[in-house]
Structure 1
Amino acid sequence: MTEIEAIERDEAARISEILQGAVDPHVHSGPSIAPRIIDHLDLARSYSDAGFAAVVTKDHDYSGVMCARLIRDHHPELTVRVFSGIALNNVVGGFNPYAVEHTAAMDGRIVWLPTLAAENHLAWEKTSGWVHPASTQKIRPAAGIPVFDDGKLRPEVLDVLDVVAASGMALASGHLHVSETRIVFAEARRRGVERLIFTHPEDIVGGTYDDTRALADMGAYVEHSLGFFIEGSRFRTRTNAELQAYIDCVGPERTILCSDLGQMGTLSPLMGMRRGVATCLALGYSDAQIHAMVASNAAAVIGLAD
């Protein structure tokens, strides 16, 4: 074995150790109306073999809690705990408190505010060139779901916030513009929501470092999608230096690193997490700091220790 091979072997082992007990709270596995490279069960097998503690599957068009329950009930050999949540897009009726209550009753862990149906997302689409991979073949294009009416949060938004507060689930910002997120999160806090996730400030939502700090000061964890940063991802739009700047503006103790992967034509979620850890090591973060960002913080926000 050459010296380079030995170094690579040792780093691979170090990455594996850091990922023991990891939690990926944002993965796009299938079945899905959009093509996926891995389904929920194979994802669970992959993460179980790698020593992960938990994973939260996310689909833009349905609540995955039933799939998660089937995997937990029928595959006791898997050591990873599989959870899901609900994204408040058109298919589930937008801000639908009944759907959120149902998700909570089936042990859902995260409620994502509108993503592909967020008015901000639809505005971003016009300049990004991104199109839902199933929208022209299988489903009609998304219709925007407003958050405000005459400058005030709509009653159904408040209803959903109350359900999230009562259930203890985490509220994630989805693809709302950061200016909307700051208002919704402030109201969520007033209504008793304890777990908040600010979703990928680096892309779509327009989050600056100042916005990121403000939301972290509000008690939110800041979740970064490694697919936007890591080498080899077809979604890479950001640099390592930008990742470091986002982490440092709130600290590793308020940062979550998720894969946000599962799409066709790019890295697998597990490879994304491994490359994310390697990137953080190269940036100089300690093993303990990285473990917090890929494990402990996400475990706390989804209530894994409760």
Structure 2
Amino acid sequence: MTDIETIKREQADRISEILTGAVDPHVHSGPSIAQRAIDHLDLVKGLSEAGFAAVVTKDHDYAGTMTAALIRAHHPDLTTQIFSSIVLNNVVGGFNAFAVEHCAATDGRIVWLPTLAAENHLQWANATGTVHPASTAKIRPAQAIPLFEDGKLRPEVLDVLDVVAATGMALASGHIHASETRIVFEEARKRGIERLIFTHPEDIVGATVEDMKAIADMGAYLEHSLAYFVEGSKFRNRTNEELREFIDHVGPERTILCSDMGQLGNMLPLEGMRGGVAICIEQGYSDEQIHKMVATNAAEVIGLTG
């Protein structure tokens, strides 16, 4: 084995060690109305072989908790725990407290504020010409789900926040604007929500550095989607150095790195996570700091620890 091959092998082993016990809390596996590169079962098989502790699946249109329960029940040999989540888009009725309660009762771990139906997302998609693969002729186009009425959070939003607080699930900001996230998260904290996730501040949501720091100061984790950073991802629009800048705004202690992968034509989530760890090594973070960002913090926010 040449010196270069030895270095590559040592690097690969180091990445594998860092990812032992990892948690990917944001994966777009299938089945889905949008075509996916991998389904939930094959996802868990691959992550189990890699030593991941857990994964949370996310679909813009349905809560995958029943599928997760079936996989856990019928494949006890798989060591990666699979959980799911609910996204408050049109298909589930937007801010539907009944749907959130059902998700919690079936062991859902994250409630996402609107994504494809967020007013901010629709404005961003219109401005950029972005068409999401879930936007098909099979269902009607997304209709905006507002957060506010007469300058105040709508009663339906408050009902959902109360359910999240009562059930202990995590609340993720989805694709609402960063300025809206600050308002919702402030109310969430008042109502007793302890687990908060600021979704990919690097894209779509219009976050400033001030937004990121203020939201982290509320006790939220900033979740960065490696799909925007890892070379080879079809969504890459950021550099390795920019990932370092985003992390350093709040530090590894308040940072989660997720794949946000599983889309057709993109690298698989495990490959994305390995690429993200490689970037962090190259940017000078310690193995302990990286493990915190790919494992410990996400485990805490989805209720695996603490």
TM-score (norm. length: structure 2): 0.99
SS at match of 1:43: helix
**Could you tell me how far 1:156 is from its partner in structure 2?**
0.3
**Could you tell me how far 1:241 is from its partner in structure 2?**
1.4
SS at match of 1:165: helix
Q: How does 1:3-42 map to 2 (within 5 A)?
A: 3-42=3-42
Q: How does 1:199-210 map to 2 (within 5 A)?
A: 199-210=199-210
SS at match of 1:102: helix
**Could you tell me how far 1:210 is from its partner in structure 2?**
1.3
Counterpart Cα distance in 2 of 1:128 and 1:107: 36
The CA deviation string for residues 164-199 of structure 1, in whole angstroms up to 9 with x for no partner, is 000000000000000000000000000000000000
The CA deviation string for residues 214-240 of structure 1, in whole angstroms up to 9 with x for no partner, is 000000000000000110001001111
Q: How does 1:165-176 map to 2 (within 5 A)?
A: 165-176=165-176
TM-score (norm. length: structure 1): 0.99
Q: How does 1:203-242 map to 2 (within 5 A)?
A: 203-242=203-242
1:280 is matched with: 280
For structure 2, list consecutive stretches of 5 or more residues without a partner in the other structure: none
SS at match of 1:297: helix
Counterpart Cα distance in 1 of 2:134 and 2:197: 27
**Could you tell me how far 1:305 is from its partner in structure 2?**
1.7
Question: Are 1:304 and 2:304 matched, yes or no?
Answer: yes
Q: How does 1:79-90 map to 2 (within 5 A)?
A: 79-90=79-90
1:156 is matched with: 156
Percent identity among equivalent residues? 74
Counterpart Cα distance in 2 of 1:249 and 1:90: 34
Q: How does 1:107-122 map to 2 (within 5 A)?
A: 107-122=107-122
**Could you tell me how far 1:135 is from its partner in structure 2?**
2.0
2:195 is matched with: 195
**Could you tell me how far 1:134 is from its partner in structure 2?**
3.7
The CA deviation string for residues 61-104 of structure 1, in whole angstroms up to 9 with x for no partner, is 00010011000111000000000010000000000000000000
Counterpart Cα distance in 2 of 1:28 and 1:90: 18
Residue identity opposite 2:111 in structure 1? V
Question: Are 1:260 and 2:247 matched, yes or no?
Answer: no
Counterpart Cα distance in 2 of 1:117 and 1:267: 26
Counterpart Cα distance in 1 of 2:97 and 2:274: 37
Counterpart Cα distance in 2 of 1:104 and 1:123: 31
Counterpart Cα distance in 2 of 1:135 and 1:184: 27
Residue identity opposite 2:129 in structure 1? G
Residue identity opposite 1:238 in structure 2? R
Q: How does 1:36-185 map to 2 (within 5 A)?
A: 36-185=36-185
Counterpart Cα distance in 2 of 1:269 and 1:183: 32
Counterpart Cα distance in 1 of 2:6 and 2:127: 46
For structure 1, list consecutive stretches of 5 or more residues without a partner in the other structure: none
Counterpart Cα distance in 2 of 1:24 and 1:122: 27
Count of aligned residue pairs for this structure pair: 306
Tell me the C-alpha RMSD between the 2 structures: 0.7
Counterpart Cα distance in 2 of 1:137 and 1:148: 29
Counterpart Cα distance in 2 of 1:299 and 1:18: 14
Counterpart Cα distance in 1 of 2:241 and 2:260: 20
SS at match of 1:130: coil
Counterpart Cα distance in 2 of 1:96 and 1:182: 21
The CA deviation string for residues 114-158 of structure 1, in whole angstroms up to 9 with x for no partner, is 000000000000122211224233211100000000110000000
Counterpart Cα distance in 2 of 1:95 and 1:136: 23
Counterpart Cα distance in 1 of 2:35 and 2:128: 20
